[in-house]
Amino acid sequence: MSVFDYTLEQLQAKLHSKELTVSDLVQAAYDRIDEVEEEVKSFLTLNKEQALEKAKQLDEAMPETTNPLYGIPAGIKDNIVTKGLRTTCASQFLSNFNDPLYDATVIDKLNKEQAVVIGKLNMDEFAMGSTTENSSYYDTRNPWNTDYVPGGSSGGSAAAVAAGEVFYSLGSDTGGSIRQPASFCGVVGLKPTYGLVSRFGLVAFASSLDQIGPLTRTVEDNAYVLQAIAGHCNMDSTSANVDIPNYHDVLKDGVKGLKIAVPKEYLSSQEGIQPEVREKVEAALEVFKSLGATVDEVSLPHSKYAVAAYYLLASSEASANLARFDGIRYGQRAENAENLIDLFKKSRSEGFGEEVKRRIMLGTFALSSGYYDAYYKKAQQVRTLIKQDFDKVFEDYDVIIGPTSPTPAYKIGEKIDDPLTMYADDVLTIPVNLAGVPGMSLPCGFSNDSHLPIGLQIIAKHFDEKTIYRAAYAYEQATEHHKERPNLGGAK
């Protein structure tokens, strides 16, 4: 049995019984990376020397009691700033950003838990994409079948957990970038309520939508990681000052009496939901019914406008946020520029990839004089309607459940030249970000032919992650999907 098959709780028990050491766990992570990384390509930067040294120190200082993350190897998406460890956002613009001067708040929190950062994970450039094919370095591949995409933009974060290279990872979610790769790779991924986890040190894509969250193999592990990284931060003006409950305490409360809403739009073939995805979600709903929950159909009528509104809003915010990358202070700096404006143009042209340029141009257009009211303002109004749809459902129901993605993973190269089709694939995840509510993806089965994972999405009202964990844990314990492993590197 691989050490990566143990839960965080089990690993802590083995550390205290001396069956394992922190050094064993860290070395196991790097051994696994050596074994499968050529196939998966999850990592952009490794932190081996420092990680092994920290592991040695943690072994020597092992206290009688530890938190669940003590000494546990983790991977970090490469748009989360790590002091002294290269942070590139998978962009050539930041290829030489080798020595950041500070840690993101979530990294500070992991350090306080004495977690061990193994390295930085591949992603779509500046978190713009749904397949990790927009990385300017190389494509990450799905561990279940390396001909297929792992999803994105947190594709490296999901693939590394699924491949058993790390015990958990952090990703960021702007329009589904944690949940969709979690669905494609068969792991558990949570987008927390906007403001629950600090964004300080997260390189901004769309500031009103971005949120950091955990990817793990089990729901229980996910609760432990969120417990560690959630909380108010004075460095983030959008951070919410709310009480953080003990997420682990509610896991075993069961779902008897839980009221589940299923939006008819989320199972509609008009939204591109494949029949086998609908079949697996409907089977999952039957499991919930057997556990004592009630299930009713509802409507989220404005969800059909979510994709259009999102790409206007996210691109507008991106065009403003990425203006700071100008070739002056850090990052790509063009040679032989004739003047300051020429330096800006050449540096940004050389440093940014095609998708980033596309979104900057769209956002700049939407914010321009004469078009602001017609596009950006209208998209904000639609966003309000989408939030009101969620608020209305949550007046009567505890959670909303549906698919995470309309399809399982698709082949590398299949959609990269058709960005509009790829954008439409985010139809089920985007409304959650626009409304600011929390959402989780967890495995609910596999496609019939390719045996690729299919994800179930559970959504709750603002700051009600504990109900998501309660529902997800009950479903996970009643099924076996989370126990399956990809056949990678010669062993499951």
The H or E element containing residue 25 is: helix 22-40
Among 122, 191, 187, which Cα is nearest to 153's? 122
Per the structure block, which two tokens stand in for 297?
């159909």
Instruction: Report the distance separating Cα 25 and Cα 14, nearest Å.
Output: 11
Handedness of CA 201, 206, 207, 213 (dihedral sign): negative
Q: Please identify every residue annotated as catalytic.
A: 77, 153, 177
CA distances to 6, 14, 489 from 19, in Å = 13, 5, 25
- Count the alpha carbons within 13 Å of 197 in the hemisphere toward its beta carbon: 32
Q: Where are the beta strands (DSSP E) in 154-205?
A: 168-173, 188-191
Residue 239: CA count within 13 A, CB half-sphere: 21
Contact between 63 and 16 (Cβ < 8 Å): no
Distance between CA atoms of residues 383 and 77, nearest Å? 27
CA angle 325, 189, 387 (to 5 degrees): 75
**Strand intervals (E) in 34-145:** 43-46, 73-77, 116-121
CB of 197 closer than 8 Å to CB of 179 = no
430 Cβ contact list (under 8 Å, min separation 6): 175, 176, 306, 307, 310
